[in-house]
């Protein structure tokens, strides 16, 4: 390889290596090193797994940890159930200007920050909000209904804030499915259910897995939506991490919590890839 080509390759790879090294690898190594420190005096530390034993020995931490994982999986499943028909309609049924308009409608909510979108749901779900007033007008309730600060409101917020990240990979994958294959399935006597099960879903599996990974990671690491829509009793693990770092200044325990969250997300993604028979290379291309 000529010197000029080597220099071009180095210049091309340098931003990527800096990004991975400075923003991913080094922070995670540092977080792990902090997590295995134990204070033994003012400014004195020793290497110990005490922070991890604290996590494993406190039922509240374990319950919150498991609850966050379960709710994140639930939010991912609901996002997939809602997003798949939307993506299929955009990719295979809508044509021309309608297709572009529908895709644009999916993008519009993300032109504002997550904070603004979450405040929008708070306005809708509060006692004097549109939904409460509509229920009263229909005669379904006798007075104002508080729909905020519960698990349902939190799941609604998580699904809403993550929907685009499920729809986009699904649309991209479904657009590559030849319409003639679906028509051939009908010609051979297949039903809509069987064609969906045998043709559409297997073809869309890379997009399903890719979207599910992104949505799950966003839900698992979300702090704003659970706090604002779930309230102070939402029991979300990122709130515990925030509390340890910012409120209690216990960086060692907060780092241990963060590393446990990293292990949890990696384990669930690995399990998803194994169950679906997909690889990261296939889902990300």
pTM of the model: 0.89
- What is the model's pLDDT at position 3? 65
3-state secondary structure (DSSP) of residue 176: coil
Please state the rounded mean pLDDT for residues 141-151. 84
Using the predicted structure, report yes or no on whether residue 245 has a pLDDT greater than 80: yes
Other beta carbons within 10 angstroms of residue 263's beta carbon come to 10
- What is the model's pLDDT at position 215? 95
3-state secondary structure (DSSP) of residue 248: coil
Q: How far is CA 69 from CA 41, 106, 136, 169, 282, in A?
A: 35, 26, 36, 23, 25
Using the predicted structure, report yes or no on whether residue 159 has a pLDDT greater than 60: yes
Using the predicted structure, report yes or no on whether residue 131 has a pLDDT greater than 60: yes
Task: Give the pLDDT band of residue 273 (cuts 50, 70, 90).
Answer: confident
Domains of the chain: 59-283 (1.10.3720.10)
- What is the model's pLDDT at position 80? 95
- 205 within 8 A of 250, measured Cβ to Cβ: no
- 133 within 8 A of 143, measured Cβ to Cβ: no
Q: Which of 76-80, 102-106, 129-133 has the highest mean pLDDT?
A: 76-80
Task: Give the pLDDT band of residue 285 (cuts 50, 70, 90).
Answer: low
| Residue of higher predicted confidence among 147 and 1 | 147
């Amino acid at each position: 390889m000529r010197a000029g080509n080597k220099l071009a390759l180095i210049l091309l790879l340098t931003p990527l290596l800096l990004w991975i090294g400075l923003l991913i690898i080094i922070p995670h190594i540092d977080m792990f090193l902090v997590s295995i420190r134990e204070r033994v005096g003012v400014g004195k530390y020793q290497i110990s797994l005490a922070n991890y034993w604290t996590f494993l020995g406190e039922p509240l931490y374990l319950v919150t940890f498991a609850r966050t994982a379960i709710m994140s999986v639930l939010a991912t499943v609901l996002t997939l159930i809602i997003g798949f028909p939307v993506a299929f309609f955009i990719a295979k049924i809508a044509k021309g200007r309608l297709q572009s308009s529908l895709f644009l409608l999916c993008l519009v909510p993300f032109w504002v920050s997550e904070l603004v979108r979450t405040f929008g749901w708070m306005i809708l779900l509060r006692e004097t909000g549109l939904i409460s007033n509509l229920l009263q007008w229909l005669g379904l309730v006798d007075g104002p209904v508080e729909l905020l600060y519960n698990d349902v409101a939190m799941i609604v917020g998580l699904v809403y804030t993550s929907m685009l990240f499920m729809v986009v990979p699904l649309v991209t994958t479904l657009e590559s499915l030849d319409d003639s294959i679906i028509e051939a399935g009908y010609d051979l006597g297949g039903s809509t259910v069987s064609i969906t099960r045998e043709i559409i879903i297997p073809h869309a599996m890379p997009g399903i897995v890719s979207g599910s990974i992104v949505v799950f990671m966003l839900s698992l690491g979300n702090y704003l939506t659970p706090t604002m829509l779930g309230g102070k009793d939402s029991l979300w693990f990122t709130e515990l991490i925030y509390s340890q770092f910012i409120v209690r200044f216990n960086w060692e325990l907060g780092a241990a919590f963060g590393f446990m969250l990293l292990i949890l997300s990696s384990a669930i993604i690995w399990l998803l890839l194994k169950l679906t028979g997909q690889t990261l290379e296939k889902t990300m291309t």
